[in-house]
Structure 1
Amino acid sequence: MTKLYKSFSWLFIFLSAISFAANAQTTGRLNGKLIDATNSKPLDFATIILLNPNNQIIKTAQTDASGSFRMDAIAFGTYSLKISYVGYNPIIRPTTFDAAHTVLSLGSIKMALSKTSVLKEVTVQAKKNTIQLGIDRKSFNVEQSLVSQGGSATDLLSNVPSVSVDIDGNVSLRGSSSVRILIDGKPSLLGGSSIADVLQSIPASSIETIELITNPSSKYDPEGQSGIINIVLKKNSRRGLNGNVSITGGLPNTFNTNVALAYQNKNVNLYGNYSHRYGQRSGSGFSNRTNFRRLSSGADTTFTFNQNSSNTRNFTGDVFKVGMDYNIGEKTTVGVSSNVNLRKRDGGDNGLTQGIGQFGNLNSSIDRNNSEYEKGNNYDFNFDFSHKFKKPQEELTSNISFGRGMEDETQNFNTNTYNYVRTPSSLNNLIQQNLTDGNFRNWNLQLDYTNPLTKTSKLELGYRTTLSRNASDFDADTLNNFGNFVNDPRISTNFVYDEKIHAVYGNYQKQLGNFGVQAGLRAEQALINTALLDSNKTFNQNYFRIYPSVFLTQKFTGEQTLQLSYTRRVNRPRDRQIIPFLDRSDALNYRTGNPSLRPEDVHSFELSYAKYWATTTLTSSAYYRQTNGAIQRITSSYDNTGIQLTRFENVARAITSGLELIGRTEITNKWNATANLNFYNTSVKGDPSLGLADNSGFAWNGNVTTNFPLPFNISGQARFDYQAPQVIAQGKTRTNYGLDAGLRYDFLAKKVASISLNARDIFKTRRFGSITSDPTFYNVTDRRFSSRQVNLTFAYRFGRTLDQMNKKKDRKEEQRDQTPDEPTGGN
């Protein structure tokens, strides 16, 4: 751990040294902001190209979400700056850099729509940066992630800075698994399904970008302890007819396909996307647990369980997205879209557990053979409306979305327990079948209004209602001595979760020179009712809360920005955290939910700093997060036979404070590196009623990604990540690290085709384990999948702009006009 810590520290020193060395050279830089000449709306992802007098490309860039762009480390000389954007007239400006002109600030550049509203053919295309770093958010471009191609959304998230994914597919942001995950800005596609299962079924090829907001303002849903992860599925943004196809094959047993087709003209944007994914994963693990037990007579009856297991999982997923945007006029747009997710999962696990007595004698053994099959689907329908007023940037938007889905699962447990202490030895056989029928639905009603009061101030107002219902019927049947399955009412559960959230918000922004302030309030009324239909028990949580947010931002000279922010957030327990179904798939480790869980109350403070050098960007954030009523996994004795029960409980509070650093540097014109370090301390306040003592400790994680060019149109990417042990309620997790790498070869005219080869977890080092204890037990676990995966992907892009299509049409009409008329003969 110490060597890796030093290595990451030296890496940041190395990146900074490169940056300062570059600044010492005779170079210049330029920056600007691109806006629409009519409504002053920022134009994102516009192409910026710097050409030398021989018309050769020297540098390229793209505007970010705010329309801003910058180019650094420009050698002294004379150039032409070319700016182009779909449907707008291109802009070409001469520029010169010398000792007297090292910085060129272009300010706001207004682009006008072309008269024909079509895009002239672009002969040069610039690649988007892998990651765009802002002081309050990060945007990760999927297309440039070579190591994730051919994988799932889960694989993709594990390669995003600040994000980690455990062996069960649970996602964490800055070390916290309480993160809000959205798809296209909405929770409707996830519904009441297992988030891990949905993410595993979505191919990475169907995703455009991943956005991270670690401390969202009052405008956003306050759900999620550590922030928001928004997964943006692909949608057409180019005019004309265009599309792309890709196909992936890999080991072990991976097959993915993706097809996208879209057409856009001045008034209509039609788009559709289909992705199929099949993957297989196998894994193994062990658990060594010592139970401390002393009888009333004083006799010590300590015993140990050593468990080894193996498992296999097969995943199949199909994802569809179709939609249409229609411009009613110049300022009004309506859109309809639908997402469909179909998935299946099957597999099994086998395990052998040996019970060892105090003197090393074999007391018992448990042979487990389980299988499962699950199928599920989600679909949603969305209606979006947008109207721009005469005043620039004044806008009204609304969304109505409805989502629905189901999950059916069948589990078969076959457990043989041999007891060698009794004379004669005895065998107990348990055969159990679990049938799960889950259904859910979700409504989202949202209205947002933005009014720029002056050139330096803005007011945002909004309303949102979400209505969710999740019904889960767990039916557990046990095989009796007569060979018949009989329902076991002790562990069967019919559970209903009903949630209604009504919210209004107001957000005000004011810029005072280089100082900016943003303050907001979000008021929410939560009506949450859960019910156990079998026992007629109900649990109600109805509460009203105010969620404030404050952001203070100061810009300094030398491309520096400092921001201080505070937000209040909430994390509501859902799914398996609250469903009280007793999972007995492991004969010695039972799991269940807790319907009495309360929502976490989160107070988050963050001090962020961003600095831009000629070739390097550095963002740093010092954060403090206090979670009252923190939800933790708690393990306790189930009975006196050695069985343990894990369930979720609220503890008094948990406090996490840390420092995160993200840096990106352009080592050369085509070679760059991005590194991320996160140091944090976690303390969990104990609870005597749960047998929990206070626990605290320091942890850190880091990763580095580098993109580099190779000869013959080949580009490469490598990524290394490391997670140090992390504090949990009853112990700590174990070290986890791994290396991924990928290559891509671009070919054909304009590089419209590519072949990619990547490998994940090359040295098979990734594992997930923990060490937990209390006065009654000490447990060491280790689990891992055969995570080394090798994928080969072929991708092809095709399409024509409207200008090209019109030219072809004009040529046909011209040829028709030049063809002589046929003679009209007669008798």
Structure 2
Amino acid sequence: MRLKLVLLAATAAVAAPTVVLAQAAAPKTPPAAKPAEAPVAVESVTVTGSTDGLRTSIDRRSYSVANDLGATTGSISDALRNVPSVEVDVQGNVSLRGDPNVTIMIDGKPSGMFNGDGRGDALLQMSAGSIDRVEVMTNPSAAYRPDGTGGVINLVTKKVQRPGKSATVRANIGADGRYNGGVSGSYRAGKLALSGEASLRHDAQEMDQESDRARFDPISGKFLESRQSSVSDSTGDGANLRAGVEYDLDAKTRISGEVRRRGMKYESDSKELFAGKDAAGTVTRAYDRDSNSAFERTNTSVSADWRRQFKGTDHELVADIEYEVTDFARDLTAFTDNRPGADTYEAARFGVEQTRTDLKVDYTRPLADQAKLKTGFELEGSSNDYDNYGARGPTAGALVVDPSLTNQFLYDQTVAAAYATYERPFGAFTAQAGLRLEQVDIETNQVTGGIKGGSDYFKAYPSLYLGYELNETQQLTASYSLRVQRPQAQDLNPFRVYQDPFNFRAGNPDLKPQETHSYEVGWQRRSGPTYYLVTAYYRESFKGVTDVVRDLGGGVLLTTRANLAESRNGGLEFVANGRLTPKITYNVSGNVYWNEIDATSLGFAEPRSGTSLGGRANVNWQATPKDFFQVNAFMMGKRLTPQGYREPSGMINLGYRRKVNDKLSLVVTAQDVAGTFKEEVVIDTPTLRDRSKRNMNIGAVFIGLTYTFGGAGPRQREPAFDFDAGAGPVG
């Protein structure tokens, strides 16, 4: 391991003097523009598209949400549901082309808010009003972290674009007491730019779910049936605060800083019913359970950037440091009326505190023949402290700590990385090759059980991108990258975490990282407002990490994690955008997806495979210069899982915007108007059968107002893309 660390340190050390040498060797060029006007370095080959629509390059696609009315009044989940390649289920869990292992970032930086337990809840609760664009990278280059076998989704927030003062106020109100709103403002004058934002979202949800199970009983040779159902009412609040500052030390140097605070809290009252039968079909065990739970998640981050531009376009050095703290807690109190058996009172708590420190340095230098070299290194350290507690008793005042529910688990991870990418055009052909080297060290401590463990490994992650311009409107692309999905901290904790009397969850300390080889080829045609994208992709994964459900007896199920031997998936995706009439535009995308899973270790005789079809459609009608109507719909197809499948589901949304004047707009949206969005998951193994259904009152109507004032100065030049491997964009 020491040799690996030395090699990695040497690579990073080489990058530093390279900066000095590059400055000395840089060819004479005209003086660089001021940072506020200079273009941002882009790790790509060809960029096409307008400010308001789709921007594409060889390694990513960027989708504007400016005209997505659902994003104006809804959550981040609502905005992502209308982005090609992306799927979001009822619980807010995100997948890219069927792969749920996705890294979600904000302005090019990972966030603990969207990592680990409760990440889906955070996406459901956080307002999308501050999001400007969504960048999707299904095959990121070596300049980016290889984490997330599905790829990377970057949420790009609205930036300071005009000199002077500007501000926006938005307020939306919906049915069932729902409301959200926020205010954002900016000030730019000379060398100084200030910006800030505050938003609040209040939501109310009703959810009902039921599960019909049958487990094989080897004694009777029959399947024993049981049924569990529940109804819950939830209310929650989410808040977001941000303050940022930028200052130009001179014409070539900019420093910036930002503070973010995000938080959310949900409270839920639930009523559960359970009935279990014996081999003769007689109910032998039942219970009624009333529970109250509180879910809270907060995230605080502080970051600072330093950017220095040198002579020549795209010639710069960027340093960025960030410190982040994320707290997550779920508290539960419950009363269970057991039949037969004594009544039971219980209290449980699941909590974790995560700290993360990240240091990055990126250097970009143009070379001869329009080539470009990009190098950098990154050091990230994260710590997780999990604290679980449980107590039971005959009365609420006589609870006794239950050792089987009380546990502390510590997890520490350090990732040191260095990378380099080289890009060069050869006439109509362009190539970009990259290599990322990473050393990972992990330490675990199951404090309660006195069990310590850990691992370390060194890995190289290559990437390759090719582009060929057929003509002015058409382009071919091809790419390859090696991706990794590291187990989450809690995935390695073997302690059984209590969820309800018949459901436990535990980690697996023997988990290994999943590795995925990802291949893509694509064709793009663009002519004015019309564009077509077709992409064929194939992925092969080894040591895939997935949920495995095991029967502990008595109707109790344990969900844990396991490395599958191998899985393969591929498909064909298309995106089409154009104009039907001068006033009507459309956007359609679809994905034909095939998946094969080697589940022989789970009791199946042979690998399982299946094909799915999903997609989305959006139609916009600019009826008058002031009236804008929108209809959008999406469908998630049937999807294979290691032990069963997920049934298809979809949603239809409507929207209307009235431009009262240049500063004031009225928006009305209706979500899930047909009431079709739901979740149904089936487990079908030789020893366990389960069909679980979950329905939520996603349907809602919102009425909102947005008022903008100030910002009368000329708009600054926008970068080709909103972020790069370094800090945020200049300008």
TM-score by length of 1: 0.79
Q: Does 1:440 align with 2:354?
A: yes
**Which residue is 2:82 aligned to?**
159
Matched, 1:797 2:708: yes
Match of 1:389 in 2: 310
Quickly say closer, same or farther: Cα 1:135–1:448, change in 2 above 3 A: closer
After TM superposition, the structure 1 stretch with the greater mean CA deviation from structure 2, 193-202 or 499-508, is: 193-202
Listed as ranges, the matches of 1:77-476 within 5 Å are 128-190=51-113, 194-295=118-219, 299-418=220-339, 426-476=340-390
Judge which range, 181-190 or 487-496, deviates more: 181-190
State the AA in 2 paired with 1:416: D
Question: Whole-Å Cα distance in 2 between the matches of residues 656 and 593 of structure 1?
Answer: 26
SS of residue in 2 equivalent to 1:168: coil
| Distance in 2 of aligned mates of 1:70 and 1:362 | 63
Q: Alpha carbons of 1:481 and 1:705: their partners in 2 closer, same or farther (altered >3 Å)?
A: closer
Q: Note closer, same or farther for the CA distance 1:38–1:279 as it changes in structure 2 (3 Å cut).
A: farther
Partner of 1:222, secondary structure, is: coil
Distance in 2 (alpha carbons) for counterparts of 1:247 and 1:730: 44
Give the aligned partner of residue 18 of structure 1.
none
Mapped partners of 1:461, 1:585: distance in 2: 46
The 1:720–1:135 alpha-carbon spacing in structure 2 relative to 1, beyond 3 Å, is: farther
For residue 415 of structure 2, give the secondary structure of its aligned residue in structure 1. Answer: strand
Instruction: Name the count of aligned residue pairs.
Output: 684
Contact 1:415 1:587 in 2 (8 A): no
Cα distance between partner residues in 2 of 1:789 and 1:524: 46
Identical positions, percent: 27
In structure 2, stretches of 5+ residues that fail to align are: 1-28, 716-731
- Residues 1:554 and 2:468 are matched in the alignment: yes
Once the two structures are overlaid, the 10-residue window that deviates more, 342-351 or 517-526, is 342-351
Counterpart-to-counterpart distance in 2, 1:180 and 1:276: 25
Q: Structure 1 residue 259: deviation in Å?
A: 0.4
What displacement does 1:756 show?
A: 0.3
Question: SS at 2:129's partner residue?
Answer: helix
Q: Quick one: distance in 1 between partners of 2:43 and 2:432? A: 21
Q: Secondary structure at the match of 2:581?
A: coil
Tell me if structure 2 keeps the 8 A contact 1:678–1:701. Answer: yes
Larger Rg: 1
What is the CA distance between 1:130 and its match in structure 2? 4.6
Matched, 1:774 2:685: yes
SS of corresponding position for 2:404: coil
Map 1:517-556 onto structure 2 (within 5 A).
Answer: 517-556=431-470
Alignment correspondent of 2:611: 698
* Pair 357,37 (structure 1): closer, same or farther in 2 beyond 3 Å: farther
- Cα separation, 2, equivalents of 1:198 and 1:393: 36
* Counterpart code for 1:530: T
8 Å Cα contact 2:47/2:55 also seen in 1: no
Q: Return the match for 2:591 from 661, 678, 684.
A: 678
1:471-620 correspondence runs (5 A): 471-480=385-394, 483-620=397-534
The alignment status of 1:731 with 2:652, answered yes or no, reads no
Q: How does 1:615-634 map to 2 (within 5 A)?
A: 615-634=529-548
Q: Which residue of 2 aligns with 1:817?
A: none
Q: Which amino acid aligns with 1:265?
A: A
State the SS of the aligned residue for 1:706. Answer: strand
Q: Are the aligned partners of 2:58 and 2:466 in contact in 1 as well (CA < 8 Å)?
A: no
Q: Matched residue of 1:598: which SS? A: coil
- Name which of 640, 655, 659 aligns with 2:568: 655
Query: Structure 1 residues 606 and 592 mapped into 2: Cα distance closer, same or farther (>3 Å)?
Result: same
For residues 704-743 of structure 1, what are the structure 2 equivalents within 5 Å?
704-711=617-624, 713-743=626-656
Q: Distance in 2 between matches of 1:718 and 1:523?
A: 46
1:483: Cα distance to partner?
A: 4.9
Q: How far is 1:686 from its partner?
A: 2.0
Structure 1 residues 193-229: Cα deviation after superposition (integer angstroms, max 9, x where no partner): 6322332332111222211111000001110001100
* 1-structure distance, mates of 2:87, 2:237: 23
8 Å CA contact retained: 1:45, 1:67: no
Q: 1:389 to 1:677 in 2, by over 3 A?
A: same
Greater Cα offset, 596-605 or 479-488: 479-488
Shift of 1:408: 3.1
Q: Cα–Cα, structure 1 residues 536 and 390, in superposed 2: closer, same or farther, change >3 Å?
A: same
- Kept in 2, the 8 Å contact 1:768–1:784? The answer is yes
Partners of 1:193 and 1:632 in 2: how far apart? 15
Counterparts of 1:278 and 1:707, CA distance in 2: 29
Deviations 1:480-519 (A, max 9, x none): 5795211111232101111100000000001000001110
- What SS class does the counterpart of residue 490 from structure 1 fall into? helix
1:339: how far off? Answer: 0.7
Classify the secondary structure of the residue corresponding to 1:149: helix
Report deviation, 1:286. 1.5
Q: Secondary structure, in 3 states, of the residue corresponding to 2:159?
A: coil
Q: Distance in 1 between matches of 2:561 and 2:334?
A: 24
CA 64–746 in structure 1, closer or farther in 2 if over 3 Å, else same: farther
**Secondary structure at the counterpart of residue 252 of structure 1:** helix
Residue pair 1:154, 1:200 contacting (<8 A) in 2 also: yes
The letter for the 2-side match of 1:393 is D
1:649-676 CA-partner distances (Å, limit 9, x unpaired): 1111111111111111122334211111
Task: Please give the alpha-carbon distance, in whole angstroms, between the structure 1 residues aligned to 2:704 and 2:235.
Answer: 20
Higher relative contact order, chain-length normalized (CA < 8 Å, sep 6+): 2
Q: Does 1:646 align with 2:556?
A: no
2:19 is matched with none
Deviations, residues 309-368 of structure 1 (Å, cap 9, x unaligned): 212222211111111111111111110111111221111222212223444433332212
Whole-angstrom CA distance in 1 between matches of 2:352 and 2:502: 27
**Contact 1:663-1:675 at 8 Å conserved across structures:** yes
Find the aligned partners of 1:42 and 1:663 in 2 and give their Cα distance: 36
Give the secondary structure class of the aligned counterpart of 1:220.
coil
Deviation at 1:472, TM superposition (A): 1.1
Q: For 1:102-157, what per-residue CA distance to the aligned partner results, in whole angstroms no more than 9, with x for missing partners?
A: xxxxxxxxxxxxxxxxxxxxxxxxxx535434453222223321022222112222
Q: SS at 1:638's partner residue?
A: strand
Superposed displacement of residue 417, structure 1: 2.6
Residue 9 of structure 2: aligned partner: none
Structure 2 CA distance for aligned equivalents of residues 324 and 795 of structure 1 = 25
Partner of 1:50: none
Q: Secondary structure at the match of 2:109?
A: coil
**Separation in 2, partners of 1:778, 1:434:** 29
2:287 aligned partner, one-letter code: I
Structure 1: which amino acid aligns with 2:142? Answer: S
1:518-539, CA deviations, whole angstroms, 9 ceiling, x for partnerless residues?
Answer: 1010000001112111111122
Q: Report the alpha carbon displacement of residue 678 of structure 1 after superposing the two structures with TM.
A: 0.6
* DSSP-derived class of the 1:676 partner: strand
Instruction: Supply the distance in 1 between the matched residues of 2:655 and 2:701 (Cα, whole angstroms).
Output: 9
Structure-2 change in CA distance of 1:462 and 1:657 (3 Å): same
Q: Distance in 2 between matches of 1:684 and 1:803?
A: 55
SS at match of 2:405: coil
In the alignment, the residues of structure 2 paired with residue 306 and residue 498 of structure 1 have an alpha-carbon distance, to the nearest angstrom, of 40
